Structure 1
């Protein structure tokens, strides 16, 4: 277990190739620190909310002890992408000037295949608990969002977590959802220690840790059209959502346990 880091800032220097899984068109890109990143752009479909979900999902996952790629703030200047030949990508880069999110590119990683790789019951239980806590609608057989890298399991792509913020109405009710979609989780059959995971992981996520992670969200990602709340108000909603969800963790833990029993 570890505390969230202070995230580094990099400048994107070269757009290499789009990753066309899904509709958000992330891309592999070079940065001025000499590393490659999977960059997700605020100008894509769900805008900065997907970047917020990615940031919170990665950093909460990291604190809980999961392997997730390093997260950086990735800057695009106004000249970036002008020579891009693909008009769709050029528009995406144009609307993504400023601050985006980058995830360290795991070169040579392969997609997790549940037929090939068996995950031990403790890790499986903790990942299922984490995804139920974060209301992650991905991590299914269709789209596992996990990679094997150097024979270790890495969690990627948290942009579909915290889906309450796409409507942002009655977040209090959303915070106490039992999250029935956990029934489709790819690791649910192995997750036989969900109650133990609940006790262990709930104890790690103190108010201070959650607040420190939420405070990583930059103001630039919290300027939402149609909302009167200022960035501090919105960060407080994220914190209260996560805190409330944690307080009621027995609800989603029981839902996951019941769903697993129906499977096995």
Structure 2
């Protein structure tokens, strides 16, 4: 039986503090289930597309059995943020009414440091494969987007993946791109088992699994002012992009292997 993705929905009850590491002003917030979350706002810079990337990238990672903080839909009531003193944050909250996306906050987690934490070849290859597949530009030495929590490696922040959707033209060409930016991946030097991982992961990511992930995208995130496409058409492009990329995985595998040869 395939592991069908599912996301809970929580209501944000308290804005705690902005997390200013990124340009999109994510925040630490509390919800009505009494858990704390890293909240990503649809009213931020890249809007719903960053949330869609976070959702698809995160759930693909989860299906592939990576350690991932739970993703939830986070509902912001229209009255939320009216008492916020910071005008920039108040505007962000007011522009993010409705469904946003949040990651369970891993209290006490520390940023991954390649000098301190050793990652074996298999796990490194798995993470490199994932990021090449979803075209994730954000797992570099400068910004590893990995945490160590309870002595295990956790993946976070996939909002910069699937960057083809910011132009939304010629997606077929993007789907078959080698993804040259994989050369900057922090784990590429250790990724010596890419072929093995490719076979294993392609067996897991069936069309049914990918369809179920794409189906998680809320309808309200698929009404784009800069596109005449219907939500159904947009959803289908995401699915076909992932399927085409998967079916031509040798393109990005070869790119990663060639880039790795220049590093070792």
Considering the TM-score relative to the shorter chain, is it more than 0.5? yes
Q: Secondary structure at the match of 1:263?
A: coil
Cα distance, 1:5 vs structure 2:
2.9
Tell whether the 8 Å contact from 2:2 to 2:209 is kept in structure 1 after alignment. Answer: no
Distance 1:101 1:114 in 2: 29
Distance 1:2 1:44 in 2: 34
**Superposition TM-score, scaled by structure 2 size:** 0.99
- In structure 2, the partner of 1:223 is 223
Distance 1:21 1:162 in 2: 21
Cα distance, 1:226 vs structure 2:
2.1
Q: Secondary structure at the match of 2:10?
A: strand
- In structure 2, the partner of 1:35 is 35
- In structure 2, the partner of 1:20 is 20
Distance 2:22 2:226 in 1: 26
Q: What is the aligned length?
A: 264
| Match status 1:199 vs 2:199 | yes
- In structure 2, the partner of 1:78 is 78
CA RMSD of aligned residues (A): 1.0
Distance 2:165 2:232 in 1: 15
- In structure 2, the partner of 1:133 is 133
What does residue range 227-242 of structure 1 map to in structure 2 within 5 Å?
A: 227-242=227-242
Q: Secondary structure at the match of 2:262?
A: helix
Structure 2: state its 5+ residue gaps.
Answer: none
Tell whether the 8 Å contact from 2:5 to 2:212 is kept in structure 1 after alignment. Answer: no
Cα distance, 1:230 vs structure 2:
1.0
Q: Secondary structure at the match of 1:225?
A: coil
Distance 2:171 2:158 in 1: 19
Tell whether the 8 Å contact from 1:42 to 1:100 is kept in structure 2 after alignment. Answer: yes
Q: Secondary structure at the match of 2:227?
A: coil
Structure 1: state its 5+ residue gaps.
Answer: none
- In structure 1, the partner of 2:142 is 142
Distance 2:244 2:27 in 1: 35
Q: Secondary structure at the match of 2:220?
A: helix
What does residue range 1-264 of structure 1 map to in structure 2 within 5 Å?
A: 3-264=3-264
Cα distance, 1:22 vs structure 2:
1.6
Question: For each residue in 1:213-258, what CA deviation from the matched residue of structure 2 results, as whole angstroms up to 9, or x when unmatched?
Answer: 0000001101100211111111000000000000000000010001
Question: For each residue in 1:17-64, what CA deviation from the matched residue of structure 2 results, as whole angstroms up to 9, or x when unmatched?
Answer: 111012000001000011001010000000000000000011000001
Distance 1:100 1:37 in 2: 12
Q: Secondary structure at the match of 1:177?
A: coil
**Superposition TM-score, scaled by structure 1 size:** 0.99
User: After TM superposition, what 4+ stretches of structure 1 lie above 4 angstroms from structure 2?
Assistant: none
Tell whether the 8 Å contact from 1:2 to 1:63 is kept in structure 2 after alignment. Answer: no
Question: For each residue in 1:70-105, what CA deviation from the matched residue of structure 2 results, as whole angstroms up to 9, or x when unmatched?
Answer: 011000011101111111111100100000001100
Cα distance, 1:2 vs structure 2:
6.4
Distance 1:7 1:146 in 2: 22
Tell whether the 8 Å contact from 1:49 to 1:165 is kept in structure 2 after alignment. Answer: yes
Distance 1:228 1:217 in 2: 18
